[in-house]
Structure 1
Amino acid sequence: MSSITQVQQDMLARMGQFAELAGGDAVRPAILPSDGAADGIRESFESALRAVDAEQHRAGEAMAAVDSGRSDDLVGAMVQSQKASVSFSALMQVRNKLATAFDDVMRMPL
């Protein structure tokens, strides 16, 4: 058999496979949403917000303790402040990514 004939047969076999795949359901959900799926996402984001808020409150209290002279741990207060800053920045990046994803979904053509 010549190489051209072999290539043609391979291509026909692949086209047959693609035709079989195209005959099934085009779009299948990866995970079927349960009744509480939206609540789970909301609760996860809410717990992340509360964790970042608590981190900022601890940093504020540590800085206030250093400012008032109740504590000598300036380095600890600065580390706590940086942790709170990084946590807040990460939370804002997640929020921005979610907003961008929502906008992208809304712009998709039907």
Structure 2
Amino acid sequence: MSQGVEFNRLMLEMRSMQADAMVRQKPVASTPEPGAPSFSEMLGQAVGKVNETQQASSQLSTAFEMGTSGVDLTDVMIASQKASVSFQAMTQVRNKLVQAYQDIMQMPV
């Protein structure tokens, strides 16, 4: 049950990030808002969060394997699944970006 809750929370975070990105969108002709993160910064932050999630999962797994008290197997499995889902989501975003780039490059000029 808690895996479903964690998955739902992760999906809500992703939707929140998507909504933030959509709110920040401006017409191409306008100048960027001062202090607003660029696309590359937002992508870098997302990759950083995925990396942090994977590192936390790895540390929790290592702690469980070493027999550290207070580390529960369910917490390890939830962290592992969260890291897996976030990595899969990032991979899908990368695939969409590559496909969009290829589509643009194949457009007639």
The TM-score range, normalised by the shorter chain, is: 0.5 to 0.7
TM-score, length-normalised on structure 2? 0.67
The 5 A counterparts of 1:11-90 are 30-34=27-31, 40-71=38-69, 72-90=71-89
- Structure 1 stretches lacking a partner, 5+ long: 1-29
Structure number with larger C-alpha Rg: 1
Once residues 33 and 42 of structure 1 are traced to their aligned partners in structure 2, the CA distance between those partners, rounded to angstroms, is 18
TM-score, length-normalised on structure 1? 0.66
Which residue is 1:107 aligned to? 106
State the identity %. Answer: 38
- Moved >3 Å (runs of 4+): none
- Across the aligned residues of Structure 1 and Structure 2, the Cα RMSD in angstroms comes to 1.6
Distance change in 2, residues 1:33/1:91 (3 Å): farther
The number of residues matched between the two structures is 79
Q: Alpha-carbon deviation of 1:31?
A: 3.3
